[in-house]
Amino acid sequence: MDCIFCKIVSGDISAKKLYETPNSLAFLDAFPLTRGHTLVIPKNHYNKIQDMSESDSKDLFETVKIIAGKLESISSSSLIAIHNGKESGQDIPHVHVHVVPRNSSDGAGPIHSMFVKRPALDDNEFEEIKKIIQNNK
């Protein structure tokens, strides 16, 4: 497989590993947004969150929780983000969670600042969206 994260898991590519379980791995991002920017990945290859097994999902998010706590030695706040698919900004098609230490001078805003074109939905549109999502098996 040509996946960079799979190569990190196998040891073919080195990484600054911070924490590891049998199912997940946390390491410093090679192109950090802030000091301490960490990626948490499942060791098994999955393209999207919904593809993951229940056990790998539980392990991944427990590892995210642990890493977020450990990063409080750098900053008291962190941004936790997942790009789930190419259109969302996922560059590497292997599930990965960004845990980014934040501070008031880092220049980034809340998630709402990312979206310039925000929809103005009425109650009917909310109901339509709700039905579509609830009926999707």
112 labelled catalytic: no
- For 120, the token pair is 């103005």
Interior/surface letters 13-22, b for 16+ CB within 10 angstroms, e for the rest = eebeebeeee
Dihedral over alpha carbons 22, 28, 31, 37 (to 10 degrees): 110
The residue annotated as part of the active site, out of 83, 96, 98, 112, is 96
- Catalytic residue positions? 96
